[in-house]
């Protein structure tokens, strides 16, 4: 009867020239779930199920930063709106301990089924599989800062559950490990914990001894000016996951999706490569930026791409591999029209990192480059990324790697290095590109 009356009312309004416009469906809301399973550290769980959820949906676990919460990460990131578009479900865990950081350091957290936060997060995943018909073959995790570190931990602990991860401002699996009950590892956070790719890979493999199945793909984002979890951790993560996945540490693809963003892919050049790194020049500890959540969803294969076949494990390299460092046999002169160099230092106690951007201000491309400069007294280079730097002190030369040899007119390339210092954290006074003087900016 109500439907008949409603129809009659609509007909009357139509005759009168009045058109009824249906109200849009209310947006889905974030819902807290309690009693979701084993939860040794009393995590909280919030769930976002879009109105247009797929019949067999994928699941993205989105893990917040220290001092944050699941609801804060929901409102402050773009994952829920992307779920509306693509039909996947988002799980937002919340840490409840003091400081709201996740446990990525205890021995319990760094082994499969060992207890602590990873077990509670796994219970959330199981709950969604059981109650929301989620596809167990499409479970993913992403997170920022503490959540980025937890992304690394979950991929190491549960490689049979997660198909891929995306870590913003994270550190390698096991980097934050402690045994004294503390939850902070200053050596790791400052970027001073350096291991070979083999050693990093062994830490991951030890989390689930005897596992021989497929390993999840990994995407990492990091800003060069990050002073909370220092930028060298970016390179260490890439070393770890290329080793775990058995692919070369030499990128097979490099581009700049936006100015200052350098993206490198390892293993293959596709959107869903085994390992992808996005380095953000001049950016601090404030990721993700606008548009980066969409890059994550594309990497996961949830935005219309074909879901990749699981990457099988391969035997770990017998010895760590390094990108070729020799410059091309023929090297162009410095660019006609000049060059500019931006050089930023982030220092602590007795160490520092640099972020260096070289811009070709001329009208001809630079094919193969060397940047010459003199380090201030007391500075000694210990490692470098996106270039080789030698000797370790004094008058040094940074040389391109195989994948970043060309700087087009108006284009730029970035590299950096870590160094020890004895108190002088200053910058070089002058720079030359292929023997031609550059302007320091």
Question: Could you tell me how many helices (H) and strands (E) the chain has, helices first?
Answer: 9, 22
Ranges of beta strands (E only) in 267-394 are 275-280, 339-348, 351-360, 366-367, 370-374, 380-385, 388-390
Q: Which residue has the tokens 């559950």?
A: 161
Choose the catalytic residue: 145, 146, 189, 190.
145
Q: 25-46 b/e with 16+ CB inside 10 Å = b?
A: eeebeeeeeeebeebebebbbb
Nearest-Å Rg of the Cα atoms of the chain is 25
* Closest to 288 (Cα-Cα) out of 102, 65, 125: 65
Containing 415, the helix (H) or strand (E) segment is: strand 412-420
Q: Which residues contact 167 (CB under 8 A, 6 or more apart)?
A: 142, 143, 148, 149, 151, 152, 218, 219, 220, 221, 237
Q: Which residue has the tokens 């676990």?
A: 61
Strands 217-223 and 164-168: parallel
- DSSP codes, 378-401: T-EEEEEESSEEESSSSEEEEE--
CB 274 within 8 A of CB 266: yes
| 134/131 Cα distance (integer angstroms) | 8
Q: Which residues contact 242 (CB under 8 A, 6 or more apart)?
A: 197, 248, 249, 266, 267, 274, 275
CB 142 within 8 A of CB 298: no
The question of whether 310 is a catalytic residue gets the answer no
Residues with catalytic function: 145
């Amino acid at each position: 009867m109500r439907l008949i009356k409603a129809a009659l009312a609509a007909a009357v309004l139509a005759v009168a020239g009045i058109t009824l416009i249906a109200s849009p469906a209310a947006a889905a809301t974030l819902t807290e779930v309690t009693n979701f399973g084993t939860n040794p550290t009393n995590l909280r769980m919030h769930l976002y199920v879009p109105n247009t959820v797929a019949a067999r949906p994928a699941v993205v676990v989105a893990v917040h930063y220290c001092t944050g919460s699941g609801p804060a990460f929901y409102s402050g990131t773009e994952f829920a709106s992307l779920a509306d578009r693509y039909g996947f479900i988002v799980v937002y865990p919340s840490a409840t301990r003091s400081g709201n950081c996740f446990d990525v350091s205890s021995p319990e957290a760094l082994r499969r089924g060992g207890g602590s936060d990873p077990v509670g997060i796994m219970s959330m995943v199981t709950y969604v599989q059981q109650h929301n018909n989620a596809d167990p073959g499409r479970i993913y995790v992403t997170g920022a800062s503490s959540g980025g570190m937890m992304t690394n931990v979950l991929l190491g602990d549960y490689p049979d559950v997660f198909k891929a991860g995306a870590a913003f401002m994270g550190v390698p699996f096991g980097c934050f490990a402690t045994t004294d009950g503390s939850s902070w590892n200053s050596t790791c956070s400052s970027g001073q914990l350096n291991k070979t790719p083999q050693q990093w890979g062994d830490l991951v493999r030890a989390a689930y001894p005897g596992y021989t199945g497929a390993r999840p793909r990994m995407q990492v984002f990091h800003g060069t000016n990050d002073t909370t979890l220092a930028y060298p951790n970016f390179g260490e993560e890439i070393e770890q996951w290329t080793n775990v996945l058995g692919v070369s540490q030499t990128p097979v693809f490099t581009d700049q999706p936006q100015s200052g963003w350098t993206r490198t892919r390892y293993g293959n050049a596709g959107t869903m490569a085994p390992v992808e790194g996005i380095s953000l020049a001049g950016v601090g500890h404030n990721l993700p930026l606008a548009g980066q959540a969409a890059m994550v969803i594309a990497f996961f294969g949830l935005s219309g791409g074909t879901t990749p076949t699981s990457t099988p494990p391969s035997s770990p390299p017998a010895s760590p591999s390094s990108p070729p460092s020799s410059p091309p046999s023929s090297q162009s002169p410095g660019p006609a029209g000049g060059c500019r160099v931006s050089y930023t230092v982030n220092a602590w106690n007795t160490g520092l990192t640099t972020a260096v951007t070289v811009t070709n201000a001329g009208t001809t491309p630079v094919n193969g480059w060397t940047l010459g400069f003199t380090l201030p007294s007391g500075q000694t280079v210990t490692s470098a990324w996106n270039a080789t730097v030698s000797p370790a002190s004094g008058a040094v030369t940074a040389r391109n790697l195989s994948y970043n040899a060309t700087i087009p007119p108006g284009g730029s390339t970035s590299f950096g290095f870590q160094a020890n210092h004895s108190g002088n954290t200053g910058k070089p006074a002058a720079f030359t590109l292929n023997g031609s003087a550059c302007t320091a900016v």
